[in-house]
Chains A and B, each alone.
Chain A
Amino acid sequence: MINQIQRIGERSINFVTRLGVAGLMLVNALFSQPNWKFLRLVGLQVYNLGVLSLPIILVAGLFIGMVLGLQGYNVLVSYGAEQSLGTMVALSLLRELGPVVTALLFAGRAGSALTAEVGLMKATEQISSMEMMAVDPFKRIIAPRFWAGVLSMPVLAFMFSMIAIWGGSFVGVDWKGIDSGGFWSVMQASVDIHQDIFYGFIKSTVFAFVIVWVALYNGYYAKPSSAGISEATTRTVVNASLMVLALDFILTILMYG
């Protein structure tokens, strides 16, 4: 009994310590003065995290859009409301699926890569040697990756929504024969820049923040062994995905009540 309580205590202390360490890392990484060198590093990471994630985002977006279009059509047509397909596709994408699915794919594609990369740098003493060369790894390694992730994710989410809506229109208009004018105008009448596009942007930015933070923390504090890195990579994907889904619920409550 006492052992159980002790274990709970130990766990909670560890948990709070880890939160503190992760917070310190974030603060250290964020408060670095930007200069040209730094922007160059961010650019490089935007390439690694954003550009290289583009294919998976676009392909996934296209298929999800087409499936949404088909399923939505089949349901709506039995109520004679297939005109609303555009609204259904656009709203579900902009508000939920765009930010969330992009975030999940981003966690799997870029988050795991970040953890593995930083973890390996740690394990092979590259980070340690950087410290001894008086180069702060938080500013040189962590900060550029952090900002690049936060910049890339919303861009990816926009592209995801765009191509998915196109996929939906492809199925609805070109295949199932909904009038294209109706499809787009009903959509335009119901989609709001503030409520839908801007809130979607906020969501994807928040998700990016969480994913990159989790990924970098797990990488930087991974056990310096191959088992440690693989464990850290798994933990990144699992933790980041769950946190994205939970945060999505909270944000949805805050935004749409």
Chain B
Amino acid sequence: MGQLVQIRDMSFAREQRILFDNLNLDIAQGKITAILGPSGIGKTTLLKLIGGQLTPSSGDILFSGESVCRAKRAQLYQMRRKMGLLFQSGALFPELTVFENVAFPLREHTQLTEPVLQTLVRMKLESVGLRGAEQLMATELSGGMGRRVALARATALDPELMMYDEPFAGQDPISMGVLLKLIRDLNQSLGLTSIVVSHDVTEVLEIADYVYVLADKTIIAQGTADGIKSNQDPRLVQFINGLPNGPVPFHYPASDFLKDLAAQ
């Protein structure tokens, strides 16, 4: 198995704040790779970098051997047809029905006849268990259902790479379980490569084949799920067990509080 996505010496800064510093990361074909890390370290940004929506300040990102960062607009759109991204918000089109939302990428990119298209959309909706909801408006869905519809939409064009941005955030235990199962099943049945970005450690470790833990602008640990669990790095132990204080500071970087008070 090769590497579908390769990130090479990539740095990215936003408004003078460095998010990534010389990051190297590989996503293996056909596997579920999890990227863990505390909030605010740019996990979503990483997905947008892979999708070519943002450009790194240096370094390169390769998608099946081709550079995403240096691709021309048309090339980039060609590459994106092979990618799917599940947004944290779902990002469904509120003025369309569930059916039309899932049909959207098919209508845009293919010339399918209406019956074929309907069958395809129903298949996608069936796979996330929401075929019965196809005539609802996107605004009528609950958060968990919305995310499943968004998942059906993201996989409508049968991408090679699926990226999940915080798929479990704000979900009740049942929909969390449903989503976990869906991600695993989709990966197996469609032969996808998946990237799951999350801070829900236990859930992600259940399904991930390989795990990267990001903190402090770089990778602090990587390995299989079991390897991560048995790793004794104090930063990792703090993160996985959810301890408030430790090497990863609770405070956003600031000058010394007492000094600030004295200065006033």
Contacts and interface: CB of A to CB of B under 8 A. Distances in A.
A–B: direct contact at CB < 8 Å: yes
Interface of A: 124-126, 128-129, 131-136, 140
Contact of B89 (A124, A133, A134): A124
A125 B89 CA distance: 8
B136 interface: no
Contacts of B157: 133-134
A134 B85 contact: no
A134 B93 CA distance: 16
B160 to A, nearest CB: 13
A133 B53 CA distance: 12
A206 B81 CA distance: 37
B249 to A, nearest CB: 27
B202 interface: no
Classify chain B's interface size: 20 to 34
B104 A133 contact: yes
A132 B84 contact: yes
A132 B104 contact: no
Contact of B77 (A124, A126, A129, A136): A136
A10 to B, nearest CB: 14
A134 B81 contact: yes
Given A126-B93, A128-B53, A133 B87 contact: no
B109 interface: yes
Contact of B108 (A125, A126, A135): A135
Interface in B131-160: 150, 153-154, 157
A134 B80 contact: yes
28 contacts: A124-B89, A124-B91, A124-B94, A125-B87, A125-B91, A128-B91, A129-B85, A129-B91, A129-B150, A132-B51, A132-B53, A132-B83, A132-B85, A133-B80, A133-B84, A133-B108, A133-B153, A133-B157, A134-B77, A134-B78, A134-B81, A134-B105, A134-B108, A134-B157, A135-B105, A135-B109, A136-B73, A136-B77
Nearest to A129: B91
Given A132-B53, A135-B105, A126 B80 contact: no
B90 to A, nearest CB: 8
B91 A134 contact: no
B172 to A, nearest CB: 22
Interface of B: 48, 51, 53, 73, 77-78, 80-81, 83-85, 87, 89, 91-94, 104-105, 108-109, 150, 153-154, 157
A240 to B, nearest CB: 25
B109 A129 contact: no
Nearest to B51: A132
Contacts of A131: 51, 53, 80
Contacts of B48: 128
Nearest to B106: A133
Contacts of A136: 73, 77
B87 A128 contact: yes
A135 B80 CA distance: 9
B105 A133 contact: yes
A131 B108 CA distance: 12
A140 B105 CA distance: 12
B133 to A, nearest CB: 19
A182 B154 CA distance: 68
Nearest to A133: B105
A172 B83 CA distance: 67
Nearest to A28: B73
B109 A134 contact: yes
Contacts of B94: 124
Contacts of B77: 134, 136
Nearest to B52: A131
Given A124-B91, A129-B87, A133-B105, 6 more contacts: A124-B94, A125-B89, A128-B53, A132-B83, A133-B108, A135-B109
A244 B243 CA distance: 60
Contacts of A129: 85, 87, 91, 150
Contacts of A135: 104-105, 108-109
Give 8 closest A-B pairs by Cβ, nearest first. Answer: A129-B91, A125-B91, A134-B80, A132-B85, A134-B81, A133-B105, A134-B77, A135-B108
Contacts of B108: 133-135, 140
